[in-house]
Amino acid sequence: MLTSLGEVVSVVRRVPVVHASLVFGVVGQVAEAFFVRAWPVLALVLAQGALVAVAERQPTRRRWLAVAVFLLSLGHGLFTHHLLTVDTHMGPFATFWVLMLGFGGLHGLVLVCCMVREAPRVRLVFGVFFTAAAPIVWAVHYDWLPDVYLPAESFAVLTLICLALGLALLTRTDRARRGLSIAGGGGVLVMVVAALVPQTGEARSASYFYSALCRGRVAAAAIAAEGPALWPTELSERTLRPDPDARERFAEHSGLPPLPEGFALEDYDVLLMISEALRYPETRLADPALETMPNLAAFAEGALSFTEASSPSVATFPSTTSVLSMTTLSSAEVEILPHFTTGRLRSGALIVPELLSASGYSTFWAGHNGGLAFTSYMLGLDQGFDETHLYQMGSTGTDDHDVVRSAVQEIRSHHEANERFFGMVFFQAPHHPYRVHDTDRPSDTARDRYRQELRFVDERMAEVLAEVDRDGGAERTVVIVMGDHGEAFGEHRVNYHSSNVHREQAHVPMVIRVPGVEAAELSAPTSTGYVFPWLLLHGPPPCRVAAERVLRDDLGPLFRETEGAVLVELIGHRHLRTALRYPTHTVLYDLLGDAMRIYDVEADPDEHHDLAPIDEELRQLFRPRVDAYRRARFAGQRFTFIDEL
């Protein structure tokens, strides 16, 4: 009962506007979720109550028998939990459940030791301990892991166990027990009545996003209804209807300007420079007062600079895979491990380096290999490159110096040989852990050190650009500079990246210099994943064919179904989330829970005030688009999950 009350308090204090019908509706939603999804928890509490009675009144042998039965029921409940069975192969979660079982063992030990009348002090100590532990566990649940399904639900279970055990140890008198019975009975009556009343849209939306119990219930229903579609382990037949008007739709919604009439990509070299964890608002492109990336800002003055560019995903592997595959992550030929930041391109997948190589370009990749990522658990991105120069991250950041050296050598040799080239230069900085490069600059906070890393990588980019521009190279080279994803600094309770699709983890710089194209600053939403279809539509015949196929089969249909949304996708066993970015609003959609949040781009650029629970008109506007995206995603997805590389 107290756990359910805690859920309601958590929902009410987080929604933007509170009114009586919303509060009562949330009570009903939480109650329904609790009664439907928390039956293992209720069974544990009932077993606990029976165990208390047995332990207090029976001989030692029967106490031990009761403890054994309790532990078996606990273990069975944990290891047959509906959501758990999907994720048992994940190392961290397996560890978590072992700890949970260990907690159950401690629980049984405490019952044996303390459910006796002869140990009142020990009983008091443990009662206070478990009662005090309950709000602590609850705080961890909501403040540290608010968006993680399994831990969130498990922490709710732990909270209830702690409360039940603590109160059982502390309530010795009949008066205390009668008081708890009256309070519990009255609360149950309120919950039952609320659960029977039809719920408003506000209540459903709010309770899903702010209640772990509701999240678990909705997620379980989604899994039962769409299991293979949610977690595909083998390719299924694509049923997404192609778009014959894809080129026009792409021109309208991609946020990229038209290239000049007669522009031919085969007349130019192509250089792609990517930096890890490059967050747009932390650069001088966003704020001229910042000293973080002066060279990139100077480069942008003569190029196309995009102020509202998003990465296709929020981690290196899925984002880079999407960019090089020219499509969304869900439509890419990729195999994803349960932790979505790792995986491999499927054998036979056709990506940009291969297309350009087949069209006569020499290709090279000079980049970091932090943690041996690109040679051990982010595989397949090297296909199509004639030369690869990968450097493991060093303690002093010398790997990016090595990247520059190799990139400069490759560019110079191709210029001297008068060969067309496609090069990808991938910098480690400013990926965490953030290093201090200049002791004269602020370095006290993580953001200070991150900004030092931005200044460092900016200088490395300038070295590469200087070599590109030497001897008139600027007139014969298309240069693309982008971040692979953004970086969080405590927004939405997380740091770094790879955890959600909010703006701070997806908003990246994107600057493109195309010879003959006038410099401009463009503010329409766009994606780094759209760059190569845009360019290759003007490339050699094999490139044009591939780009047109991507537009017809993938990007065009998604633009058609979502009415022009720019997509950011997070695809993993624990998270299936997408941001649909429009010029005026951003919609964050959770496929696992089938729920959405809506943010006003201008009034709330940091995405803190969810309008979905309080604005019926916005819900009616965006809900059909979200439903259409969901259908299109499942009809057109090519990714699959694998257990190991």
Q: Is the pLDDT of residue 78 over 70?
A: no
Higher pLDDT, 60 or 224: 224
Q: What is the pLDDT of residue 43?
A: 61
Q: What is the pLDDT of residue 210?
A: 63
CA 281/CA 460 separation, integer angstroms: 20
| Mean pLDDT, rounded, of the chain | 83
Q: Does residue 222 share a domain with residue 250?
A: no
Higher pLDDT, 90 or 18: 18
Mean pLDDT check: name the lowest of 192-201, 343-352, 486-495.
Answer: 192-201
What is the mean predicted confidence (pLDDT) over 108-123?
62
What is the mean predicted confidence (pLDDT) over 168-175?
70
**pLDDT tier, 427 (very low <50, low <70, confident <90, very high otherwise):** very high
C-alpha dihedral, 563 to 571 to 38 to 47, nearest 10°:
180
Domain boundary among 192, 227, 262: 227
Higher pLDDT, 609 or 302: 302
DSSP string, 275-320: ETT--GGGSTTT-TT--S-HHHHHHHTTSEEETTEE-SSSSHHHHH
What is the mean predicted confidence (pLDDT) over 322-342?
93
Quick: pLDDT tens for 571-601: 987 678 999 999 999 999 988 777 788 999 9
Token digits for 435? 């290093």
Q: Does residue 252 share a domain with residue 221?
A: no
What is the mean predicted confidence (pLDDT) over 349-354?
95
Residue 618 lies in a domain: yes
Report, in this order, helix, strand and coil percent for the chain, each rounded to 5.
Answer: 55, 15, 30
How many residues in the chain?
A: 645
Q: Is the pLDDT of residue 495 over 60?
A: yes
Q: What is the pLDDT of residue 594?
A: 79
Q: What is the pLDDT of residue 229?
A: 84
Residue 9 lies in a domain: yes
Q: Between vectors from CA 399 to CA 342 and to CA 418, what angle results, nearest 5°?
A: 95
Q: Does residue 597 share a domain with residue 504?
A: yes
Q: Is the pLDDT of residue 606 over 80?
A: yes
Residue 642 lies in a domain: no
CA 300/CA 481 separation, integer angstroms: 10
The domain of 319 spans: 246-419+432-636
Token digits for 216? 């678990």
Q: Is the pLDDT of residue 81 over 50?
A: no
Strand boundaries in 466-575, DSSP class E: 477-483, 488-489, 495-496, 510-513, 520-522, 526-527, 566-571
Quick: pLDDT tens for 175-230: 766 777 777 777 777 777 777 777 666 666 666 666 655 665 566 666 667 778 88
Q: Does residue 277 share a domain with residue 192?
A: no
- Total number of domains in the chain: 2
Q: Is the pLDDT of residue 333 over 70?
A: yes
What is the mean predicted confidence (pLDDT) over 473-495?
92
**pLDDT tier, 283 (very low <50, low <70, confident <90, very high otherwise):** very high
Greatest mean pLDDT range, 9-23, 42-56, 68-82: 9-23
Greatest mean pLDDT range, 22-36, 57-71, 143-157, 529-543: 529-543
Q: Does residue 264 share a domain with residue 209?
A: no
Give percent of the chain above pLDDT 70: 74
Quick: pLDDT tens for 400-420: 999 999 999 999 999 999 999
Q: Between vectors from CA 425 to CA 423 and to CA 426, what angle results, nearest 5°?
A: 145
Q: What is the pLDDT of residue 80?
A: 46
What contacts 283, CB < 8 A, 6 or more positions away?
A: 290, 292, 293, 296, 297, 454, 509
Pairing, β 566-571 against β 421-427: unpaired
pTM, full prediction: 0.81
Higher pLDDT, 91 or 186: 186
Q: What is the pLDDT of residue 576?
A: 87
Q: What is the pLDDT of residue 370?
A: 87
Q: Does residue 212 share a domain with residue 78?
A: yes
Q: Between vectors from CA 582 to CA 576 and to CA 588, what angle results, nearest 5°?
A: 25
Longest dimension (CA), the chain: 93
Q: Does residue 274 share a domain with residue 199?
A: no
Mean pLDDT check: name the lowest of 128-142, 367-381, 437-451.
Answer: 128-142
Q: Does residue 79 share a domain with residue 184?
A: yes
Q: Is the pLDDT of residue 53 over 90?
A: no
Q: Is the pLDDT of residue 147 over 80?
A: no
Q: Does residue 214 share a domain with residue 137?
A: yes
Q: What is the pLDDT of residue 34?
A: 62
Q: Is the pLDDT of residue 534 over 90?
A: yes
Quick: pLDDT tens for 265-282: 999 999 999 999 999 999
Token digits for 259? 């290239």
Give percent of the chain above pLDDT 90: 53
Q: What is the pLDDT of residue 248?
A: 97
Q: What is the pLDDT of residue 459?
A: 97
What is the mean predicted confidence (pLDDT) over 513-529?
97
Q: Is the pLDDT of residue 150 over 60?
A: no
Assign residue 359 the CATH number of its domain. Answer: 3.40.720.10
Q: Is the pLDDT of residue 84 over 60?
A: no
Q: What is the pLDDT of residue 37?
A: 55
Q: Does residue 344 share a domain with residue 298?
A: yes
Residue 232 lies in a domain: no
**pLDDT tier, 392 (very low <50, low <70, confident <90, very high otherwise):** confident
* Prior bond of 433 cis (ω within 30°): yes
The SS3 of residue 623 is: helix
Residue 332 lies in a domain: yes
What is the mean predicted confidence (pLDDT) over 118-126?
74
CA 151/CA 143 separation, integer angstroms: 12
Q: Does residue 220 share a domain with residue 254?
A: no
Q: Does residue 257 share a domain with residue 158?
A: no
Q: What is the pLDDT of residue 206?
A: 66
Q: What is the pLDDT of residue 615?
A: 84
Mean pLDDT check: name the lowest of 156-160, 224-228, 249-253, 490-494.
Answer: 156-160
**pLDDT tier, 616 (very low <50, low <70, confident <90, very high otherwise):** confident
Residue 426 lies in a domain: no
Residue 641 lies in a domain: no
CA 358/CA 347 separation, integer angstroms: 17
Residue 314 lies in a domain: yes
CA 486, 367, 470, 473 dihedral sign is: negative
